[in-house]
Amino acid sequence: MINFWATWCTPCVVELPELAQLQKQKEQRPFLILTINVGERKGRVHQSLKRMGLELPVLLDQSSNTFKKWGGRVLPTSLLIDSSGLLRYRAQGNPGWFDLSTDAILESLINQVENQTKAE
Confidence of residue 78 (pLDDT cuts 50, 70, 90): very high
The whole-number pLDDT of residue 60 equals 98
Confidence of residue 118 (pLDDT cuts 50, 70, 90): confident
The whole-number pLDDT of residue 58 equals 95
The whole-number pLDDT of residue 113 equals 82
Domain count of the chain? 1
pLDDT at 93 over 90: yes
32/48 Cα distance (integer angstroms)? 21
Average pLDDT in the chain: 93
Better-predicted residue by pLDDT, 34 or 115: 34
- Which residue, among 6, 77, 68, has the nearest Cα to 40 in the 3D structure? 6
Where in the sequence is the domain holding 96, given as residue range(s)? 2-119
22/11 Cα distance (integer angstroms)? 16
* 56 within 8 A of 23, measured Cβ to Cβ: yes
CATH number reported for the structural domain that contains residue 85 in this entry:
3.40.30.10
- Which residue, among 91, 61, 55, has the nearest Cα to 76 in the 3D structure? 91
Q: What is the pLDDT of residues 8-62, one digit of tens each?
A: 999 999 999 999 999 999 999 999 999 999 999 999 999 999 999 988 889 999 9
The whole-number pLDDT of residue 55 equals 82
The whole-number pLDDT of residue 84 equals 84
105/107 Cα distance (integer angstroms)? 6
